[in-house]
Amino acid sequence: MKRLLFILCLLLSLNANSQCVFNQSSNIVPAGPYQPGDVVTVTYTLGTFTGININWIHAFQINLGAGWTNLTPIITPGNPFGSIGNWLWDLQNTYPGGFNFGPGWRFVNTGTAGWGTSSSGPFTMSFQVTVAPTCTPDNLNISMEVFDDCTTGGWANGNCCIDPVYNIYNGLVQINLPTTAPINHY
């Protein structure tokens, strides 16, 4: 019974911490651990975005550990029943209000500049990354952040949706040290 109550409390606390994002999931192929040169494909889905005070979804930011290189977009998020506009891949963008974003996808609303999309999802996207050449166990963490147009400065109607970062992968580069025969010193 205690275990059931603990699980129930844990699930309730997870929902309480997420204001606007619901039903996040991810898939990473191949599964880790990873060595230098490995190419990994990540697929992320945000099932539903429910904005507070009409704040609309505006950007998906990918956060990578120092051990990754060659970030390449594959599938752009959709815009089901959303505002007029499109998702744009960006390595770095500073919004007019000064919010610094990137890398990831940001929505360009062609109806009202600075606003996100009214779509509530689902949003699915994918990208590839490569483990950088290294001799050290560098950080290979991958996470996703979702921002609304209040956070980016395009809409100023009350509280913003500040949701926790969604962790996709945590790990370090696996280093295979070369083995050598014993050295004879004569």
Over the stretch 93-103, which tens digit does the pLDDT of each residue have? 998 888 899 99
For 16-43, write each residue's pLDDT tens digit: 346 899 999 999 999 999 999 999 999 9
The 3-state secondary structure of 55-77, one letter per residue? CCEEEEEEEECCCEEEEEEEECC
Selection from 77, 101, 111 nearest residue 151 by Cα: 101
Q: What is the DSSP letter of 84?
A: S
pLDDT level of residue 10 (50, 70, 90 thresholds): very low
Is residue 47 very low, low, confident or very high in pLDDT (cuts 50, 70, 90)?
Answer: very high
- For residue range 84-132, list pLDDT tens digits in order: 999 999 999 998 888 899 999 999 999 988 899 999 999 999 999 999 9
- Please provide the DSSP assignment of 3-40 as one string: HHHHHHHHHHHHHHH-SSEEEEEEEEES-S-B-TT-EE
> Residue written as tokens 């209040």?
150
102 and 94 in contact (C-beta within 8 Å)? no
